[in-house]
Structure 1
Amino acid sequence: MIGASELAIFAIVVEENSFSQAALKMGLSKTAVSKKVSALESKLNTQLLYRTTRKLSLTDAGKLLYEHAKGINQQANDAFNAVNELSQDVSGHIVMSVPTISGELLLADLVSEFCKKYPKVSIELRLENKLVDLVDEGVDLAIRTAVLTDSSLIAVPLLESNWVVCASPTYLANAEPLDHISNLEKQNCLCYDLQANGSNEWRFSQNGSQKSIVVNGSMSSNNALTLKKAALNNIGLIYVPKCSVYKELQSGQLVQVLKSYETRSLGVFAVYPYTRHKPEKLTLLIEDIKQAYLSLKHIFS
């Protein structure tokens, strides 16, 4: 009979891609770990791993077994978390992945305050604009501004984030009039490369009708701050989340245009992998994040 410990060890070896690293993680010797995996292969009468001096790779049987085995460690962690929280002592480590804008705008401050409030909690805050695989990369919580498609994730809605088209007064004073989106064809439009449907296709709606225009410009970037600086240097128009240019719009350094059109609006969500028992530290952090976003709702909508 195959024991849960053997499957758990096999899963960690695969995840660490190393017998040595798996042994270190579990506090066992490399020999003990190797023997456990070999015993598992003997019981199943099939090879699970190809071993070379440089790397490990899964056989087809190994891939199939890993898909079933990898959930064992998560179930064990859920059980440990449930027991630990009986003490009402919020502790543990959280890995967060957040967009650069959100991280710089409010989440860096919020996370530091959360760590002060719960000194036994440590948080690894990753600022990145790519959509990471939470399970594969060991991420506990992510903030996403997008149309969500991954049904395996639990999503907590935070608010709606609206976008604006804007430019500096100096650029607008020297540009062609901007009364209709078709006028964008004659403008220098600086594109935000994170747009899901093509950075040079700017989408709007008016009176319930969807409209789009293909634009061109001398610059593009996957960073809203970079585009904002370019716009402040009078280079062209940008179409970015309102929160990233709110202060500049208020001060008049940037001016919103095409106000008769409805711009993009995307939901902001806190997402985390499905777990039978959500850790208390995660529940508390999500609630603090939600309140922080709501307190700044005016700069998003």
Structure 2
Amino acid sequence: MKTNWPADLQLSQLQLFVRLAEAGSLSAAARQLELTPAAASASLKRLEAALAVRLVERSTRSMRLTPEGELLREHAVRALGVLDDARSLLSAQREELSGEIHLAAPLDLGRTVLSPLLDTFQARHPRLRVVLHLSDSVHDLLRDRVDVAVRYGILRDSSLVVRPLAHTRRTLVGAPAYLALHGHPAHPSELARHNCLALNVAGRPELRWSFHRGTESLKVKVEGNRVADDGGLVRQWAVAGLGLAFKAGIDVRADLAAGRLVEVMPGWQGDSFPLQAILPAQRHLPLRVRRLLDALVMQFSRLDDPAGIPPADASNDNTASAPFD
């Protein structure tokens, strides 16, 4: 590969190439950068012509980087990162971060907790655009256009970096009206007589709920007449008095505080698990993303989690692991 950069080399070509390398698909990279496939293909060809090397091996089904492409990717990520940091630092001198951050999160957490926490941060940085990707399915950070994902559970993927935000536990909740009509269960075995609202996880309703009391642990099978793949909808059904829900304590903290929901069987604990910010290890972390992560750590540390579990240790940026729940 030539050591001197061609005079006609454009930053947009390098940005497209880096996106292609991350997404593994030219069409995916084009969508992320809001280009037509034809424009993206032409840009890649111009980049290869300018450098006089083949950067990508093309087949009918996939694209992979050549050794020269891998070398360019390493240096392009570093160069684009340095330029992005310089731009951010210049803006930060005016206390105005700018640019765009793509943030993924579960539906209910994003709507009820994360979105309000972002208000203060964006009020301080009005030129910053935050794009929220809300879904209860897990985003692929290496293929999707996501800078940071906020997820419940423990990570085992060594290609990702973890920033702890908080700890919570599953909390059994119901509306006062539902409990007045159907009674308060005192033991997990009594849930068989209650309408239990379930979340679809990986295409299947989550109908086996785990409880702990001291050294005793048990798992019970529950039934109910409503299932959704939207955790926020499950919570709304519970608030409406349609059944009992087994939710992360952080998600229902506002409803518990307002009395819309009450904790059921408080002597029996649900599983505890962390809430973490996840980001790709090999991707450059722009200053705006680092500032957002710091703000989220601070904001989550102030939340009063009704589950009674203290916030995570924000000084530990990497955690080890078991699979995500």
Structure 1 segment 108-187 matched on structure 2, within 5 A = 108-175=115-182, 178-187=185-194
Q: Distance in 2 between matches of 1:30 and 1:223?
A: 37
1:236 is matched by which residue type in structure 2? G
Among 225, 235, 251, the residue aligned to 1:244: 251
Deviations 1:149-204 (A, max 9, x none): 22222211111122211223343344366222111222221112249996111011
Among 300, 303, 306, the residue aligned to 1:293: 300
1:219 is matched by which residue type in structure 2? R
- Displacement, 1:108? 2.1
User: Does the 8 A contact of 2:85 with 2:286 survive in 1?
Assistant: yes
Q: State the TM-score, normalized to the length of structure 2.
A: 0.72
- SS across alignment from 2:182: coil
Task: Please say which structure displays the higher CA radius of gyration.
Answer: 1
Match of 2:113 in 1: 106
Q: State the TM-score, normalized to the length of structure 1.
A: 0.77
Match of 1:73 in 2: 76
Structure 1 regions of 5+ residues with no counterpart? 51-55
Q: Distance in 2 between matches of 1:10 and 1:253?
A: 50
- Displacement, 1:241? 1.8
Distance 1:257 1:78, change over 3 A: same
- SS across alignment from 1:297: coil
User: Does the 8 A contact of 2:105 with 2:151 survive in 1?
Assistant: yes
Q: Distance in 1 between matches of 2:243 and 2:194?
A: 7
Among 226, 237, 242, the residue aligned to 1:235: 242
Q: Distance in 2 between matches of 1:298 and 1:19?
A: 39
Q: Distance in 2 between matches of 1:18 and 1:249?
A: 42
Structure 1 segment 1-301 matched on structure 2, within 5 A = 1=1, 15-17=25-27, 33-34=44-45, 36-37=47-48, 48-50=57-59, 57-58=61-62, 62=64, 70-85=73-88, 87=90, 88-89=92-93, 90-175=97-182, 178-194=185-201, 199-275=206-282, 278-299=285-306, 301=308
- Displacement, 1:102? 2.5
CA RMSD of aligned residues (A): 3.8
Q: Distance in 2 between matches of 1:35 and 1:169?
A: 65
- SS across alignment from 2:275: strand
Q: Distance in 2 between matches of 1:125 and 1:285?
A: 13
Q: Distance in 1 between matches of 2:152 and 2:128?
A: 26
Structure 2 regions of 5+ residues with no counterpart? 309-325
Give aligned-pair identity as a percent.
22
Aligned residue-pair number: 290
Match of 1:53 in 2: none
User: Does the 8 A contact of 2:113 with 2:251 survive in 1?
Assistant: no
Q: Distance in 1 between matches of 2:282 and 2:147?
A: 10
1:16 is matched by which residue type in structure 2? L
